[in-house]
Amino acid sequence: MRLLQAQEIEDIAAGSAVLGTGGGGDPYLGKLAALQAIKKYGPLQLVEIDELNDDDLSVCPFGIGSPVPFLERITLDKELAVAYKAMQRWMGRRVTAILSVEIGGMNSVIPFAVAAEMGLPVIDGDGMGRAYPEAQLVTFTLYGHSAAPMAVADARGNAVVVNSIDNFWAERLGRPAAIEFGAIAGGFGYPITVGDLKECAVLGSVTYAEHIGTAIRQAQKEHTDPIDAVTKVTNGFRLFDGRIIDVKRKTERGWALGETVIEGLDGYGGRQVIVRFQNEHLVVIENDEIIVSVPDLIAILDTERGDPITTEHLRYGFRVSVLGIPCDEKWRTQAGIELGGPRHFGYDIDFVPVEERFSRS
């Protein structure tokens, strides 16, 4: 077990925003909740999965909905408390640990605040190795593990418990509830034993996020290139440098949908790319050709400081760098590509790993 103080949480929040590919909610708000938990409960507990018993039970807290309206909500404390109580009534079994459903943005850091209040550790891992916009898009689905019972709740005390036949139905039933709750809600789900997590989770991803955040912080301190620092830690690729010249964004069906147009600068002058997103970045397009797609990770960072920018914060005039990062190998299996690849989002192309399109200079 490792105890996390404020600096570790800061680094995890920054790194998870990179891995969150623009989604997962604003990590700053989740970070504030975790830092407040440190003040109230002391250092936060992060455990390796081998430190737990195979029959221990973990659950995943999360925010569900569009990240844009969340900017006006600040916290999900009440929603998550209501959701947990609703889920617990259905389970009738003690929870031993908390796991992040995704290593992206707010949903990476809020579990620490939740776990601290419950007196539980957080497992070093998650269910995606990135962020995705739909409840069924987790590695758990690839191994047949259910989201149910999944509870979705609002701050008024309303809760809906989804007892779905599969994780696709969990998404279809849970998201309309979140929309009715104001397009953002707190959720709890995916009760899975530790023994099963050893096979189906993306392990070590919290520490991975921390390493990315540390690399950004050190680059800022030493005045070196933070984009290069991130690509080294992630084995990623610097795809494009430029300035945002247009952002189209709308909230629809519980998601933030849109695209960002970036005009090239420096060595990328005379070129233009479009990054399309559904909460998370899905594809990078240049000259009407998709050059990078899900399930690989697409991150947009501030070129000068290396700070990751979530989709709700993208603005005209920002100078940014676009990165492509290899996804976890579970997503590169045939089943993984079918579940979370480009065709799932309506792009009729074959997935090509980012390293096959780009080389490191």
Q: Which domains does the chain have, with CATH numbers?
A: 2-203 (3.40.1610.10), 233-357 (2.40.390.10)
How confident is the model over 116-146, as pLDDT tens digits? 989 999 999 999 999 999 999 999 999 999 9
Q: What is the band of 27 on the pLDDT scale with cuts at 50, 70, 90?
A: confident
- Residue 312 confidence (pLDDT): 86
Question: For residue range 152-178, what is the model confidence (pLDDT) as tens digits?
Answer: 999 899 999 999 999 999 999 999 998
How many Å apart are CA 152 and CA 269, to the nearest integer? 46
- What confidence category does residue 67 fall into, taking pLDDT thresholds of 50, 70 and 90? low
What is the pLDDT, as a whole number, of residue 33?
A: 83
Give the pLDDT mean for 197-206.
98
Find the Cα–Cα–Cα–Cα dihedral 340, 344, 345, 351, rounded to 10°. Answer: 70
Q: What is the mean pLDDT of the chain?
A: 92
pLDDT at 73 over 60: no
**CA neighbours within 13 Å on the CB side: how many for 322?**
33
Long-range contacts of 339-344 (CB under 8 A, 24+ apart): 339/136, 339/137, 339/141, 339/142, 340/132, 340/137, 340/294, 340/295, 341/293, 341/294, 341/295, 342/282, 342/283, 342/290, 342/293, 342/294, 344/137, 344/294
pLDDT over 90 at 23, yes or no? no
What's the average model confidence in pLDDT over 26-38?
Answer: 83
| pLDDT at 360 exceeding the cut of 80 | no
For tokens 């989201």, the residue is: 147
Distances (CA, A) of 173 to 100, 179, 335: 21, 11, 23
Average pLDDT over residues 290-310: 97
- For tokens 């990165």, the residue is 323
pTM reported for the whole predicted model: 0.93
Q: pLDDT tens digit string along 236-255?
A: 999 999 999 999 988 777 67
Q: What pLDDT, on the 0 to 100 scale, is given for residue 75? A: 60
